[in-house]
Amino acid sequence: MPRPLINLPGLVTAVRLKTDLLRHLSRRSADEWPEHINRFIDAIAASELEDAVALGVLLADLTAEIRVLLGQDAVAQPLDREQPTGSLDALSRRDVLAEFRVEVGELLAGLRRAQELASPLVARMLSFIEERYAEPLTLDVLAAALGRSKRYLATLFRDQTGQTVHGFLTQVRVYHAASLIRAGEKIEAISLLVGYRSKKNFYRQFKEQLGVTPTAYRSAAVGVMPPPRATLRPPLA
C-alpha cells in the first residue's frame, strides 16, 4: 500500500520549529537547552506533521546539528537518514519523538560528565585567557603563570577542548571585538583593545572567524555573536 502524502504545511511548521530551536540553542549555555528542547518536542507533538518517516529524517538532521553545537562529530545515531524507511514506518510519531528525547538527553548527560571529569588546570587556563585576552598572551606567559611546561599545557588543552590555546584565544578576542564594534568603538582602537598589535593581523583573524571584515561587520549590523565555548572532553586514559 502506498504511503500517504506528507502534510506540507505540517512539514513547513516542523522545519521552522527546528530552525528556531537551533537559533535558541546557539545563543544559550547547554544547561538551558533541556527547557527549549522540551518546548520543541511539545510543539512538534501538537503540529500537523503526522508522517513518522519525515519526522525521523528531520530529527536526525537536528541531532547532527546539536552534536556540532556541542563540539562533537555529527555522526547520526538511531534515526539515521540511511535507516530503512520500513523500520521508521513501524514507529509512531510518539515513538520517534521519545527516541529523540532520549538521544539528546544522553548527549547532554555526556557533556556534563565530560565537564565534571575535565582537568581543573584546563578550567584555570580558560579563565586566565578570558581575563587576560587583551594582553600580549602567549603559551610562554600561560606556562609561567601556571607553573607547567608549554608542551604539557598545549597538549592538555587540545585533548580536553578539541582546539588549540591560540584558537580559543582568537575566538575570545574576536567575540569581544565584535561586541565593541556593535557598541560604536572605532575599529582602529578595537584591535589594540582586544590584544592585537597589528591591524592587518586583527582584520585577518576577524574575517577567518566571522567571514567578513570588521568594516563589513559594522556596515551589515550583524546580530549578536554567541560567546566562545570550549567544550571539555574527558581526559584520555
Contact call for residues 222 and 163 (beta carbons, < 8 A): no
| 188 and 124 co-located in one domain | yes
> Is residue 226 within 8 Å of 153, Cβ to Cβ?
no
pLDDT of the residue at 228: 60
DSSP E strand boundaries for the chain: none
| pLDDT at 6 (0 to 100) | 60
Pair 176, 147: CB distance under 8 Å: no
Quick count: other Cβ atoms within 10 Å of Cβ 59?
Answer: 24
Instruction: Among 72, 95, 117, identify where a domain stops.
Output: 117
Do 99 and 129 lie in a common domain? Answer: no
Structural domain range at position 79: 8-117
List the chain residues with pLDDT less than 70: 1-7, 72-91, 113-118, 221-237
Q: 50-101, pLDDT tens digit by residue?
A: 888 888 889 988 998 888 888 764 443 443 434 444 444 556 888 889 989 9
Rg of the chain taking only CA atoms, in angstroms: 22
Quote the pLDDT of residue 236. Answer: 43
The verdict on 42 and 95 lying in the same domain is yes
How many CB atoms within 10 Å of residue 188? 10
Residue at 167 is within a domain: yes
Q: Is 92 inside any structural domain?
A: yes
Asked whether residue 236 is assigned to any structural domain, the reply reads no
Task: Please say whether the dihedral angle defined by the alpha carbons of residues 195, 201, 203 and 205, taken in this order, is positive or negative.
Answer: negative
Instruction: Supply 91's cell numbers.
Output: 514507529
Question: How far is the CA of 142 from the CAs of 99, 127, 179, in angstroms?
Answer: 44, 11, 25
Do residues 161 and 215 both lie within one domain?
Answer: yes
Domain assignment present for 233: no
What is the pLDDT at residue 231?
53
pTM of the model: 0.50
**What's the structural domain count of the chain?**
2
In 3-state terms, what secondary structure has residue 16?
helix
For residue 182, the model assigns a pLDDT of 86
In this structure, what C-alpha cell is assigned to residue 112?
556534563
